[in-house]
Amino acid sequence: MGFLNYMRVLLTGASGGIGQELAKELIRRGYEVIGVGRNEKALKELGIKYIVVDLSTYEGISKVRESLKGEIDVLINNAGFGLVKPLLEHSWEELEGMFKVNAIAPVILTKELLDFIPEGGKVVFIISGASHVYTLDLPGYGASKVALHYMAKVLEEELKERGIKVLRVYPKQVATDFWKGAKLRGALSPEYVARKIVNAIESDKRELFIPWYLKLAKFFEIKYRFSFEKEFKPQ
């Protein structure tokens, strides 16, 4: 059974990757999970309540608010996406899309759902180790996560006045469908990351680096390129 102060969870990006494993881990621990995502088939297979929306639009965020019934104890802002390509090859639409989903949507969704989060509740932001490391293969993604890191730190102060706590999570690369089947060296399993995140929620942590030594990147200017066991060919 989960930590009793946090029993009803709204989880964005629940239809795949870290989000899917987070949903499974939360269910295993006795939480009620409401999943948010675009893939209805995947959400339905989890056997949870769900809301199908596109969080890159304000209309999608409004639909979450309108569909939500009753309070939630935890909001997990997990939805996000990235593109593996040099920054100069990103289009306006690609950069705009990443910043909308990765940085703007989590903040606006949090704002829109404040009426549903009681004092003592928690908001979780799944950010990225890329917010502290120059990931040369994911520059647009990394930049959007830097923006989310900054805003999550500010929200931590603003939400404190409402009695709502914030947890910021910074995982390194994770082996998910994002990599299109390519095996990424050093990638963490999404199951492991999900367990660490739920443990951090239950132990009331304010920040979580996965693995812990990523925290050291805050003190150094590190540039990083991913390494694959075979060539990565984005679709």
In a domain, 235, yes or no: no
In a domain, 229, yes or no: no
Phi, psi of 210 (to 5 degrees): -125, 110
Instruction: Give the structural domain span for 12.
Output: 8-224
Query: 129-141 pLDDT, tens per residue?
Result: 888 888 888 999 9
Using pLDDT thresholds of 50, 70 and 90, give the confidence band for residue 1: very low
In a domain, 165, yes or no: yes
> For the domain that residue 110 is a member of, what is the CATH number?
3.40.50.720
In a domain, 232, yes or no: no
What are the b/e assignments for 162-176, b being 16+ CB within 10 Å?
A: eebbbbbbbbbbbbb
Query: 84-110 pLDDT, tens per residue?
Result: 899 999 999 999 999 999 999 999 999
In a domain, 87, yes or no: yes
Query: 205-218 pLDDT, tens per residue?
Result: 999 999 898 888 88
In a domain, 145, yes or no: yes
Residues with active-site annotation: 141, 145
In a domain, 233, yes or no: no
